[in-house]
């Protein structure tokens, strides 16, 4: 706690202490801790030959996280010590703000700003690339064929003739991203920010590692105050939720496929069920749509569905019996599922595609979740994915047709839907999922 | 990213949630790839040879592999513990990979008690989730490691007198915090379920009473 009360610790941080010499100075760490009005002693020469000794943002982000964790432990183990908690909060906050600009500053020429600070040779600046307010420049003055990969100009670069041209080995997307740079070096007995030439990375490379450490600390600090509790899943599993699944998503369910138009209904349905269950939802339906590797799945709310294993013997008693879900036509399987739904107090249902030991997985849908209605031939014919006979159309095309119909501007608020498999002259039945 | 998923993603829009999920998947798959390039030994390679921050290469790159493996284990253990909502199978694989990395570090002199305290509590949670008996062992390791960390930092003026490296990115107290948080939750849990006779359940029974998760 003495650290936070020290009048010379104006930035309210935990000081670094690095000594790569062999042997290191055993008094260096305590000296930096006790004497914060002097330049810290650091022996971390970087690179070879060195342009200075590293004293960078990474330590401060990690120290902020540690201060937060100690504070949370303190509150839990010894409540009623608000002064100590406040001291730790100040350390955490101060350490984070070092990267945001509450630090000894940098040479004014190192600041990226549309309107450079005038007059003073030394100015305050944050270590956040693309951050608001004055921030430091990234690596400049090292333009080779491979280090000139960035295809756009940052505001501070002005023009292609500017001497402040950024050095990038990749072409990052110009989407306003922000990232933390390394930060200070100590050189010739003073703070410095070395961002020029081949060694410019020492201060000025942006680093995902520091971004991650900073975010982790900031989240922990916020949660300390807000008393937030972590959640097992980020998704609201009480509502339908659409996902664009990737190849990897599908392969990970063990029922992978890539083209819905060349995949059996049962296989695709197994994948959708596995994917949805993995996210905490009750079930999933393919929309039939696919673009590139992305295949659409609508996940269904966990409280509005029920999973039942239906014996083949029971399926055999329906008007649309089958004994192998992998080979039966999808429309026939769908009709059997609807008949079983009627027997199970469900508004509708579908088979998951799973079949094992004489039983087939079946999902019953709550009346609160679905609306079941008929559409006429003209309506289907007007759809991009029109078809004439539910018994001959591929399942993916029918799924696309139902999805597009349900998502079109409509008096009902619908999240998607599917053809049940039932049809009569000029009528085809749709099971539509309502939005809450 | 796992911290964001766990505590901030519920408030995000669907597109942002998907972006975060895909970013996590990319990071985990990248680490898996580094594990593959480590010849599936449990050691992880580093794809940027010559980085100034890396330790000197000694003993056929073992030194450098140790740092990469420690970092990989830190990231993958977080995913093993919290990544079910992202990809359950991948979370299980991360758990296996971390176990291999732990043994590889054993064999190659790469043990670090601070990292151990973090990884072990995460592995314990992951094993609990999967209903694995190894949960007991991992949680015991976590308790032991976090106790050692507390002893190191509990010495008078310890923080003031120890080196505080500029490149430090593994927090000192993360394992301690989550181990102690788990203990508090466990005590509260036992308080509600204490048998009428007052007997306290054995430690292993306490662990196994937690739901298997899935």
Q: How far is A340 from chain B (nearest CA, A)?
A: 27
- pLDDT at position A156 is 83
Q: Do A69 and B176 touch (CB under 8 A)?
A: yes
DSSP class per residue in A135-204: EE--SBS---STTB---S--GGG-STT-S-PBPBSS----S---EEB-EEEEETTEEE---BSTTTHHHH
Instruction: Tell me the pLDDT band of A342, cut-offs 50, 70 and 90.
Output: very high
| pTM, 2 dp | 0.88
pLDDT over threshold 60, residue B191: no
Best CA proximity match to A288, nearest among A369, A207, A372, A403: A403
- pLDDT at position B162 is 94
Residue spans per domain, chain B: 1-110, 112-214
Contact residues, chain B, for A233 at CB < 8 Å:
84-85
Q: Tens digit of pLDDT for each residue in A73-100?
A: 888 776 667 888 889 999 999 999 999 9
Q: How does the average pLDDT of chain A come out, rounded?
A: 93
Instruction: Tell me the pLDDT band of A115, cut-offs 50, 70 and 90.
Output: low
Residues 237-296 of A with CB under 8 A from B: 241-244, 246, 248-249, 252-254, 278-280
pLDDT over threshold 80, residue A116: no
CA distances from B102 to B2, B64, B147, B150 (A): 21, 16, 19, 21
| A44 vs B: CB within 8 A | yes
pLDDT over threshold 90, residue A120: no
Q: Tens digit of pLDDT for each residue in B104-158?
A: 999 999 999 999 999 999 999 999 999 999 999 999 999 999 999 999 999 989 9
Q: How far is A74 from chain B (nearest CA, A)?
A: 10
Instruction: Tell me the pLDDT band of B206, cut-offs 50, 70 and 90.
Output: very low
Q: Tens digit of pLDDT for each residue in B43-98?
A: 998 766 545 444 444 444 566 688 889 999 999 999 999 999 999 999 999 999 99
pLDDT over threshold 50, residue B100: yes
Q: Do B165 and A231 touch (CB under 8 A)?
A: no
Q: How far is B86 from chain A (nearest CA, A)?
A: 7
Q: How far is B109 from chain A (nearest CA, A)?
A: 21
Can you give the three-state secondary structure of B131-158, one letter per residue?
CCCHHHHHHHHHHHHHHHHHHHHHCCCH
Question: Is B181 or A211 the better-scoring residue by pLDDT?
Answer: A211
**Beta strands across the sheet bearing A370-375:** A370-375, A427-434, A414-424
Size of interface A-B (CB pairs under 8 A): 140
pLDDT-above-70 percentage for chain A? 98
Look at strands A183-187 and A190-192 and give their pairing: antiparallel
Instruction: Tell me the pLDDT band of B188, cut-offs 50, 70 and 90.
Output: low
pLDDT over threshold 70, residue A57: yes
Buried b or exposed e, range B48-72, using 16+ CB within 10 angstroms: eeeeebeeeeeeeebbbbbbbbbbb
Smallest Cβ–Cβ distance between B7 and the set A66, A72, A223 belongs to A223
- pLDDT at position B196 is 34
Quote ipTM for the complex: 0.88
Q: Is B158 exposed, middle or buried (CB count within 10 Å of its CB: 0-12, 13-18, 19+)? A: exposed
- pLDDT at position B207 is 30
Contact residues, chain B, for A228 at CB < 8 Å:
7
- pLDDT at position B21 is 95
pLDDT over threshold 90, residue A413: no
Smallest Cβ–Cβ distance between B160 and the set A30, A223, A280 belongs to A30
- pLDDT at position B195 is 32
Best CA proximity match to A61, nearest among A120, A127, A8: A127
Best CA proximity match to A105, nearest among A183, A41, A159: A183
- pLDDT at position A162 is 82
Look at strands A283-291 and A294-300 and give their pairing: antiparallel
Q: Report the alpha-carbon distance of residue A150 to residue A165 in Å, rounded.
A: 10
Smallest Cβ–Cβ distance between B10 and the set A15, A234, A254 belongs to A234
């Amino acid at each position: 706690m003495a650290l936070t009360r020290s009048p010379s610790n104006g930035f309210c941080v935990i000081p670094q202490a690095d000594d790569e010499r062999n042997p290191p100075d055993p008094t260096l760490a305590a000296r930096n801790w006790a004497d914060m009005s002097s330049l810290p002693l650091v022996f971390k020469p970087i690179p070879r030959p060195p342009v200075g000794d590293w004293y960078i943002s990474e330590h401060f982000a990690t120290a902020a996280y540690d201060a937060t964790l100690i504070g949370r432990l303190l509150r839990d183990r010894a409540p009623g010590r608000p002064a100590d908690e406040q001291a730790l909060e100040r350390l955490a906050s101060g350490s984070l703000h070092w990267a945001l600009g509450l630090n000894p500053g940098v040479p004014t020429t190192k600041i990226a700003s549309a309107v450079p600070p005038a007059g003073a040779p030394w100015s305050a600046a944050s270590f956040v690339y693309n951050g608001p307010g004055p921030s430091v420049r990234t690596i400049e003055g090292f333009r080779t064929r491979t280090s000139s990969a960035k295809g756009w100009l940052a505001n501070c670069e002005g023009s292609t003739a500017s001497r402040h041209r950024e050095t990038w080995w990749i072409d990052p997307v110009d989407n306003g991203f922000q990232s933390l740079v390394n930060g200070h070096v100590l050189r010739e007995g003073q703070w410095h920010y070395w961002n020029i030439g081949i060694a410019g990375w020492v201060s000025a490379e942006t680093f995902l590692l520091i971004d991650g450490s900073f975010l982790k600390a900031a989240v922990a600090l916020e949660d300390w105050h807000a008393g937030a509790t972590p959640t097992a899943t980020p998704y609201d599993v009480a509502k339908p939720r659409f996902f664009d699944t990737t190849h990897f998503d599908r392969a990970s369910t063990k029922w992978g496929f890539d083209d819905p138009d060349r995949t059996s209904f049962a296989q695709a349905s197994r994948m959708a069920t596995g994917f949805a269950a993995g996210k905490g939802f009750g079930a999933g339906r393919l929309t039939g749509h696919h673009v590139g590797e992305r295949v659409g799945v609508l996940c269904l709310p966990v409280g509005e569905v029920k999973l039942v294993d239906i014996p083949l013997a029971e399926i055999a008693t329906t008007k649309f019996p089958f004994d192998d879900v992998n080979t039966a036509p999808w429309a026939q399987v769908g009709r059997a599922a609807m008949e079983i739904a009627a027997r199970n107090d469900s508004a509708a249902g579908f088979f998951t595609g799973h079949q094992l030991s004489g039983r087939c997985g079946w999902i019953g849908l709550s009346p609160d979740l679905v609306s079941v209605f008929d559409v006429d031939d003209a309506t289907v014919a007007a759809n991009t994915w029109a078809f004439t006979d539910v018994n001959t159309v591929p399942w993916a095309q029918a799924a696309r047709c139902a999805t597009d119909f349900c998502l079109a501007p409509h008096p009902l608020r619908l999240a998607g839907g599917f053809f049940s498999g039932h049809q009569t002259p000029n009528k085809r039945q749709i099971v539509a999922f309502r939005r809450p | 990213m796992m911290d964001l998923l766990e505590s901030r993603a519920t408030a995000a829009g669907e597109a942002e949630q998907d972006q975060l999920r895909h970013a996590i998947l990319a990071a985990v798959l990248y680490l898996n790839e580094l594990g593959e390039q480590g010849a599936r030994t449990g050691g992880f390679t580093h794809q940027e040879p010559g980085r100034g921050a890396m330790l000197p290469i000694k003993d056929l790159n073992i030194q450098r592999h140790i740092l990469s493996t420690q970092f990989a284990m830190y990231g993958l253990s977080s995913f093993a513990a919290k990544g079910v909502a992202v990809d359950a199978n991948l979370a299980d694989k991360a758990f296996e990979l971390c176990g291999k990395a732990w043994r590889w570090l054993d064999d190659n002199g790469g043990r670090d008690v601070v990292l151990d305290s973090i990884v072990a509590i995460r592995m314990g949670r992951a094993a609990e989730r999967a209903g694995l008996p190894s949960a007991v062992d991992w949680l015991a390791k976590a308790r032991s490691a976090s106790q050692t960390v507390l002893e190191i930092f509990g010495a008078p003026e310890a923080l003031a007198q120890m080196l505080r490296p500029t490149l430090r990115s593994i927090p000192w107290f993360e394992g301690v915090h989550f181990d102690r948080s788990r203990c508090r939750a466990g005590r509260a849990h036992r308080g509600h379920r204490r048998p009428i006779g007052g007997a306290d359940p054995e430690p292993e029974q306490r662990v196994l009473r937690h739901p298997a998760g899935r």
